[in-house]
Structure formats: C-alpha cells, structure tokens
Amino acid sequence: MNKELKQLLKNFESNSTGKERFSDFIIHCYHAFDDRSNSKKSGKSINKYDIMRQHLINYLIDNERAITIELSR
C-alpha cells in the first residue's frame, strides 16, 4: 500500500459500516484527487491527477477486501 493511500485511510472518517463504508471511502478518494486537479492550472497537471485518481479507484475496487479490513481498524 502506498503512502498516498495510507494518508487517505488516515484522514477518512465515516459513521457507516460494511459496504457503505467502503463506498464512502471511494467517494472520499475521488474527491481528494478532484480537489488536487482543480487546484492546478495546467492541463498536464490535471491530466496527471485524473490518471492517478483512476488508477487508485481501480486498485481500491480490485483490493476491496483488504481495504475494507483496513477501514474497520
């Protein structure tokens, strides 16, 4: 697990449980990268964060069980 993901896990707060908590975490990750891409001016930076966000979302979906365990700690 990379440091970006660990930081996102650390900053995530939700009162939901189970599948809803995982869904809330995906939304949290999406918005975290959306804020970064919107704060940048150049199109190249925006594209970079869009690609990073998509790779992160794909990783989260592929490793749902491991992420859910980390979220429950």
Helix (H) or strand (E) holding 24: helix 18-39
In tens, the pLDDT along 15-24 reads 888 789 999 9
Residue 33 CA to residue 19 CA, distance in Å, equals 22
Q: What is the pLDDT of residue 21?
A: 92
Show the low-confidence residues of the chain (pLDDT under 70).
Answer: 1, 36-46
CA distances from 36 to 6, 26, 68, 72 (A): 17, 16, 25, 27
Q: What is the pLDDT of residue 14?
A: 85
